[in-house]
Amino acid sequence: MEKLRLDKFISSQLNVSRNEAHLAIKKGTVTVNGEVIRDRSLIINPNADKITHNGQAITYKKYIYILMNKPSGVLSASNDKNRHTVVDLVPPNLKRQGLFPVGRLDKDTTGLLIITDDGEFAHRVISPKSNIPKCYLAELDGDINDEIIARFSEGIVLADGTKCKPAELCRVSKNVARITITEGKYHQIKRMFGVFDLGVNSLHRESVGHLKLPKELFFGQCVEILSKDVELLC
Ligand code: URA
pLDDT at position 176: 98
Ligand 1 atom with minimal separation from the 187 CA: 3
- For residue 14, how far is its CA from the centre of ligand 1 (angstroms)? 34
Catalytic residues: 106
Closest CA to 61 of 51, 75, 71: 51
Paired with 203 in beta bridges are 138
Ligand 1 atom with minimal separation from the 205 CA: 7
Calculate the alpha carbon distances from 14 to 65, 86, 187, 201, 212 in Å.
16, 20, 36, 41, 28
Closest CA to 139 of 199, 80, 98: 199
Ligand 1 atom with minimal separation from the 192 CA: 3
Closest residue by CA, ligand 1 atom 2: 187
pLDDT at position 203: 98
Per-residue pLDDT tens listing for the chain (234 residues):
899 999 999 999 999 999 999 999 999 999 999 999 999 999 999 999 999 999 999 999 999 999 999 999 999 999 999 999 999 999 999 999 899 999 999 999 999 999 999 999 999 999 999 999 999 999 999 999 999 999 999 999 999 999 999 999 999 999 999 999 999 999 999 999 999 999 999 999 999 999 999 999 999 999 999 888 888 887
136: number of Cβ within 10 Å:
23
Classify 170 as helix, strand or coil: strand
- Residue 203 CB less than 6 A away from ligand 1: yes
User: Is residue 175 within 8 Å of residue 140, measured between CB atoms?
Assistant: yes
Q: Quote the CA–CA distance of 224 and 94 in Å, as a whole number.
A: 7
- Write the DSSP assignment of 130-169 as a string of letters: G---EEEEEEESS---HHHHHHHHH-PBPTTSPBPPP-EE
Opening angle at CA 110, ends 157 and 83, nearest 5: 105
Closest residue by CA, ligand 1 atom 7: 105
121: number of Cβ within 10 Å:
18
Calculate the alpha carbon distances from 132 to 74, 232, 233 in Å.
24, 11, 8
Q: Ligand 1, residues 187, 198, 202, 207: which to mutate, most atoms within 8 A of Cβ?
A: 187
- Residue 190 CB less than 6 A away from ligand 1: yes
pLDDT at position 227: 80
